Amino acid sequence: MPCTYAYRSLELAAHELWRAGTPTPFAVIADARRDTWHCVEISSPSGAQPLRRLPAPVLAEMASDLFLPADFRTWAAPPRTAQPVPYSIADLWRLQGDAELLLPLSEPDARFPEGPAYVSWTPRIHRAPNRAST
């Protein structure tokens, strides 16, 4: 039976930075839209912390150096300076042969860092705003 595997791009980049001797703590980030950022932080030699989604103000206060994979799309500027790092899956994968970065999955999954949040709403018919005469 075929098996589906997943990997996390930020963990791949973070592991390479750690392997190359980047001083800890540091974090690899990617724009998550709506003034939030995906973040994988390495704060000790024991490895990466789980992927988190952080508001920009929280990311701005982190003591870690920030790295942003080159060519990852951003919709907003990082809340503070982030150093660009090369991101070529083929090159990174070749260098990371010993890392446990593949996660077996029973079926494909988007792997969001948190579950969906739903909000109740009351449907209303759209009406043009009243124009007050002046």
**pLDDT for the residue numbered 124:** 83
> What pLDDT was estimated at residue 38?
94
- Structural domain boundaries in the chain: 4-105
pLDDT, mean of residues 16-31: 92
Rounded to two decimals, the pTM is 0.74
DSSP bridge partners of 104: 5
The pLDDT value recorded for residue 128 is 80
User: pLDDT tens digits, residue range 69-99?
Assistant: 998 999 999 988 999 999 988 888 788 766 7
* 103 φ, ψ (degrees, to nearest 5): -115, 120
